[in-house]
Amino acid sequence: MEKKQQLHRQVVMMRQSLFDQGYVDDQFVQLEELQDDTNPNFVEEIVTLYYRDSARLISSIEQALERSPLDFDKLDNLMHQFRGSSSSIGARKVKAECTQFGEHCVGGNGEGCMRSFQRMKREYSALRKKLEAYFQVARQAGPMDTASRSN
Amino acid sequence: MRGELNLSCGKVSLLASTSSCAWKSAEMVPDWFPAGLRVLVVDDDPTCLMILEKMLKTCQYEVTTCNRAEIALSSLRNNRNGFDVVLSDVHMPDMDGFKLLEYIGLEMDLPVIMMSVDDGKHVVMKGVTHGACDFLIKPIRIEALKNIWQHVVRKRKNEWKELEQSGSAEDGDQLPKHSEDVDYSSTANEGTWKNVKRRKDEDEDGEERDDTSTLKKPRVVWSVELHQQFVVAVNQLGIDKAFPKKILELMNVPGLTRENVASHLQKYRLYLRRLSGVSQHPAGVGNPFLSPQEAAFGPISSLNGLDLQALVASGQLSTQSLAFQASRFGRSSPKSGISVSVLDQRSMFSFDNSNLRFGEMQQSQQNPNSNKQTNLLHGIPTNMEPKQLATLQQSAKPFSSFNVQVVVSQGAPSNGSLIQITQPQLRGQKLGESSTSHVPRLPANVSQSALQSQVAGEVMLRNGMTENGRGLGQNHPPQTSLAASYSGATPWKSL
């Protein structure tokens, strides 16, 4: 029982830091609120889906960035997609980098795109790590009541 | 059964009990409302799609997801009354969301809500100009989705208002009529989700009634054959001289009122206007079957016919939807500014093929592989001669081979174009490559009997087109067979 409580506390803390450190925004809460008995692992499922899809997008962007000359339209398109899915899970920092990237595309700034892309990848990795750790503990802790989930 | 709602979802059966009274007064909104609202979500992003699905389900809506615009479109075409509202992303790889919006607006006139992570003014403006009834910025919150039902209700309210206005001019010839064919319960059900746009079933024989004894004036159902008669009359009079009273006289349809004709004429005019913005064809192309006016509009509408036949892949369409659509071609002024480009029309052909791919379509309401050999003849474009149509029908291979070939022969006398649609490789691109005109015309010398022998039962001409082979130009009485036997129709209006 002690262990359970500890775990629960840990989950709460980890969750809070996700928000405090700006990894996720309110949209993440929207996902959490969708989680119910019929979909008890909804958030994790969505995030997993996001990983899969974004891996594909990131690789496409990488390939596109290797082209010369750069096809800014294509890049913008790809990044737009990535921005959409990132925002849908509430990935705040990743989304911000996507927006930045998009601006570079519009400006035809290849250098800017490259830099932005690198930053975006870093944020994405960081987010993934955080979320994976969080879900792991959450699974261990087991179901928590909503009262303990405060934003 | 007449007026009965073909409800595919148990939940929706609740809706059937709503009376039109309740809908008329805003105060009396039923408790269960808007549960069961049938939403079609189109988004290529799997993450977004899944989230939206969950959100909509939480709102108690009936959700169908789709990750390809083409599939969504063909699904809509095959099941015109199957959805109440469409949610679509703007940026999609296979089709621009605004394009999809246009199609839906023209063909089904469903409320469409656009979504995008892009919140730029010009994007939102584009939504407005293309006729979206709302624009949601991603990420979408569930609160934003809770209220999408308002767009459905609003649209229908406006439609009723339209009806009332057009029908209220004179009430001299509006006598309360009873008819076996008009089911009062259907008007009572008009307020429900499915039935506001749903019309009667196969039993309808094309005779419409305008009944003033119910609270709500039932919409006159402009079935295909009725519309044909209308068009014939209009063409006979000449579009400029076609006045409702004269048209009514020529049509000689018992129970039809001048007001019905007047409002239908209004819509028809809008429709023609829209078409003429698209048509690149000179009028009077030399097809003896078409009158000069018909020729001007013939290309487009005959394209519709092709489109329709090609598109019928599942037997799930109802006469009601056909008839309903027949009455809706001219609808929606917001969209009147849109010209559907020729290429787009042709590219529409490609969509019929995609509807056979149901892998991407979840909770699909279709019955994909049954009834494939049905009634290609429905959705007769108004200006196309039945003979021509029969020809078209008969050249289509049975669907069982999933090979929808609608070959419109290219004839010297008329400017025909060969449009061959095979599934699924021949997509919009191929069609786009066709340098010939967009007009699928039939050469005058194609004889119906010759073609008939080709098909020989491969394609069921259930709507009795062969009977109509005598051709238009006569005011023959409404054909029962047309509407009656049709179990799945894409409306002829499919621009």
Contacts of A88 in chain B (CB under 8 A): 45, 47-48, 51, 138-140
Residue A8 distance to chain B (closest CA, Å): 26
B146 touching chain A per CB within 8 A: no
Helices B224-237 & B258-276 angle (0-180, nearest 10) = 80
The total number of residues written for chain A in this structure: 151
- Dihedral sign, CA of B264, B267, B268, B269? positive
Put simply, the answer to whether A84 touches B48 (Cβ < 8 Å) is yes
A99 Cβ under 8 Å from any chain B Cβ: no
- pLDDT given for residue B220 in this prediction: 67
Contact B47/A49, CB-based, under 8 Å?
yes
Q: Which amino acid is at B446?
A: V
pLDDT more than 90, % of chain B? 20
Q: Is the CB of B46 inside 8 Å of chain A's CB atoms?
A: yes
Structural domains of chain A sorted by starting position, each given as residue range(s) with its CATH number in brackets: 2-141 (1.20.120.160)
CA distance A3 to chain B (A): 33
- Give yes or no for residue B116 having a pLDDT over 50: yes
Q: Which residue has the higher pLDDT, B409 or B68?
A: B68
Distance of CA B232 to the CA centre of its chain: 20
Q: Contact, B372 vs B315, CB < 8 A?
A: yes
From A87's Cα to the closest Cα of chain B, the distance in A is 6
Under the banding of pLDDT at 50, 70 and 90, the label for residue A94 is very high
d(CA B475, CA B473): 7
- State the ipTM, two decimals: 0.93
Q: What is the mean pLDDT of chain B?
A: 60
User: Would you call A24 an interface residue with chain B, using a CB distance cutoff of 8 Å?
Assistant: no
The tokens for A132 are: 């994976």
Residue A76's CB is within 10 A of a number of other CB atoms, namely: 19
B417-462: per-residue pLDDT in tens?
433 333 334 343 443 344 444 444 444 444 444 444 444 434 333 4
Which of B51, B89, B142 is closest, CB to CB, to A46? B51
Please give the interface size between A and B, counted as residue pairs whose CB atoms are below 8 Å apart: 61
**How far is the CA of B285 from the CAs of B18, B94, B446, in angstroms?**
51, 35, 17
Report the residue count for chain B: 495
pLDDT at res. B145: 95
- pLDDT for the residue numbered A13: 95
A30, A34, A88 member nearest B47 (Cβ): A88
Q: Is the pLDDT of residue B268 over 80?
A: yes
Query: Are A85 and B50 in contact (CB < 8 Å)?
Result: no
The lowest-confidence range among A128-142, B146-160, B331-345 is B331-345
